[in-house]
Every structure is written in structure tokens, then in C-alpha cells.
A = this chain, B = another copy of it.
Amino acid sequence: MTKAISEKKESSKIKRPNRVLIKEIAEVCGVSTATVSRVINNNGRFSDETRKKVLEAVERLGYKTNIVAKSLRTKKTKSIGIVVPDITNEFFAKIILTIQDFFFTKGYSVLVCNTNEDPGKEELHLKDLEAKWVDGLIYFFCMEDKGQIDAVRKKIPVVFVDRNPNRKVAVVVESDNYTGGFIATEELIKAGSRRIVILKHVLTNSTIVGRYNGYRDALKKYGIEFDPQLALDMYITPDAAKNAISNLIEKGVSFDGIFACTDGLAAGALLALKKYNIKVPEEVKLVGFDNVSISEYNSPSITTINQDKKQLGKIAAQLLFDMINGSPIQEKDIIVPVELVRRETT
């Protein structure tokens, strides 16, 4: 009883003028809420008299079908979740924008959850999205997979974007990271580089591994021995890259090319090269990855590997939409081509 009173107080505080609920209509009409639902949805049995009574009350009380009430009935919320490391990363933001635009035209809302690459946060977001009954999930996963990926997939349609969880039955949309790493390194080699630094994320997800393998294989193809001194791991901030390249220069390690696994890392590397008055591309050549503003509007503008953000977002959105609407979920690994964008650093 006490609870009922305090809840009533609570709800009267909120004042949602036109949102009179089924419950209130049921009370007014002296019928069950189930009956009200049946009348409103014109679904199931009820007498003409009940129908008239309920519809009058609906009119009088200004009841409008609302999405929350409808969700309870249909088990669909017309919302999807996006779990992503960091929306301030332009690469992620551009994919998300495309996905949001797609789902907007379909009448869906989008819950965006940033994990900051923190597995604990990621797990909490997944639980929350599940509790909120999102109809589907776009998932840039970061955490080590301890079975939770399959657990989520069993409950809800999931499309993995960018990072491949390497689960046999997952639906994945990713760039051709291997080829990207290969052609980035080949571009440096063809421009004359032989001692090629790779700047990469400390994480070992599929995107990093793919680019790294491409780098290694390109070196091999051109008979260049891999030097572990030149493979530098770091968190992907421009400052980390600036520090790493500065360190290499201070230590006297020689190099004449840099493959930075993101454009942000490339921009940081460029700052270090300028600090030490190393001419780009004359003395050191540089290739980034992603093709985001920071490479395009830098000076010199940075050669990079374009990831087709729009295509990644569009394919992922369409797949998830199809899955939500009952298309059979089958193993799919869509690999979106990348391409070299040659600018002033090679």
C-alpha cells in the first residue's frame, strides 16, 4: 500500500499530459487491461458494448498508442543498440552516422554506448541493451571473448562491424585490413623505403592483426627482412605516436618509412618528424590508415588507406535490419575493399 501511494505521487510529479495508459482506461471502464488492449489493437474477442465504452474512454482520456506500451505487447522496441569504443573517433562516428541514417528512415532509434575499450563497461552496456530489449545490435567489440559473444548472439540479432570476433557463425562486416596493410607497405617500398616502421595499437583485434600481417607479407614479397625494433605498439593517440617516433630518433634507430595503422598515429608521427627537421617524403615516407579528416587536411596531406565508412555502415545496417525482420541469420563475413589514397607523404 505504502508503495502504491509513493508511486502515484511519483508519477503525478512527472506529468505527461496525453499519456494516459491502458491501465487508467481499464479502471475508468471497469474492464481488465487485457480487454482494453484487445479493443485498441482490434485483436481478439470483446463485445460491441465494451468496444464502444473503451473507445470513448480512449477518446476522452486522450490515449495514444505509445511505443513503450506497444513494446510490451509486440516484444519489439523499434530501437537498436550500437556498442562502440569511442564516438569521438571520426572513423567510428562516420560508420555510426550512416547506420543511424538508415535506421532513422525505418523508424528506429539508436542507443549509442561507448566502451572506451573497457571490457567491464562493454559488458554492462550489453546487459543494459538486453534489458532494454533493443531489437538488434551493431557491435564493435573490444573485450576478450569468454563466451559472452555467443551468449549475446543467441538472444538478439548482432552484426559485428570493423572487428571480427572470429566466431564461425557470426555476421561480420569488416574492411579488407590485410590488403590495406599490404598495399600501404608496398606503397612505401615502391617509393624507396626499406626500413619501415609500423605503428600499431597494443590491442590484438582482427583489424590490427590483419594490417600487421599485410605489412609483414609485403616486406617478405620484396625481400626485406623484418626488424622487430621497428614494430611499435601503443595506444592510438597522436601523442603516443609522436613520442614513439621521437624515441626511435633519439635512440638512433634508422628508418626511412612509417606505416601508421591509423591516420591519428600518422599525424602524431608527422609532428615528431617535423620536430627533428626530417623532411617528408624526401627522408621519411609515411602512410596512414582510415582516410579521415586529420590525414586529408594535414600539411603535407597524408597518404592513407581509405576504409569505405559509408559502405561498412550501409551493409551492416541492411544486414541487421534484415535479421530483425526475420531473415535467416547465417554466417557471413562481408569484406569491404580498401584503396590507397596517394597524397603528399609518399
Interface residues of A, Cβ cutoff 8 Å to B: 1-4, 6-7, 10-11, 13-14, 16-17, 19, 21-23, 26, 32-34, 37, 41-44, 66-69, 71-77, 79, 81, 86-88, 90, 93-94, 96-97, 100-101, 104, 107, 109-114, 121, 124-125, 128-133, 154-155, 238, 264, 267-268, 270-271, 274, 293-294, 296-300, 326
Contacts and interface: CB of A to CB of B under 8 A. Distances in A.
A110 B112 contact: yes
Nearest to A121: B104
24 contacts: A3-B41, A4-B43, A16-B133, A19-B133, A23-B34, A23-B73, A66-B131, A67-B131, A67-B133, A68-B68, A68-B132, A68-B133, A69-B72, A79-B132, A81-B109, A87-B87, A90-B90, A101-B114, A238-B293, A238-B296, A267-B293, A270-B299, A299-B299, A299-B300
A297 B90 contact: no
Contact of A87 (B22, B96, B130, B155): B96
A198 B268 CA distance: 29
A132 B109 contact: yes
Nearest to A237: B293
Nearest to A297: B267
Contacts of A42: 3
Given A109-B113, A299-B270, A4 B74 contact: no
A346 B68 CA distance: 55
Q: Most chain-B Cβ atoms within 10 A of its Cβ — which of A42, A111, A238?
A: A111
A67 B75 CA distance: 12
A21 B294 contact: no
A62 B294 CA distance: 51
A75 B22 CA distance: 12
Given A87-B87, A110-B112, 11 more contacts: A10-B74, A32-B33, A68-B132, A88-B94, A109-B129, A110-B113, A270-B297, A270-B299, A274-B299, A294-B294, A297-B298
Given A131-B14, A293-B264, A68 B66 contact: no
Contacts of A4: 43-44
A75 B21 contact: yes
Nearest to A71: B68
3 tightest CB-CB pairs across the interface, nearest first?
A32-B32, A2-B2, A88-B93
Nearest to A271: B297
Nearest to A19: B75
B131 A297 contact: no
Contacts of A76: 14
A301 B334 CA distance: 39
A16 B11 CA distance: 25
A286 to B, nearest CB: 12
Given A132-B68, A271-B297, A293-B294, A97 B88 contact: yes
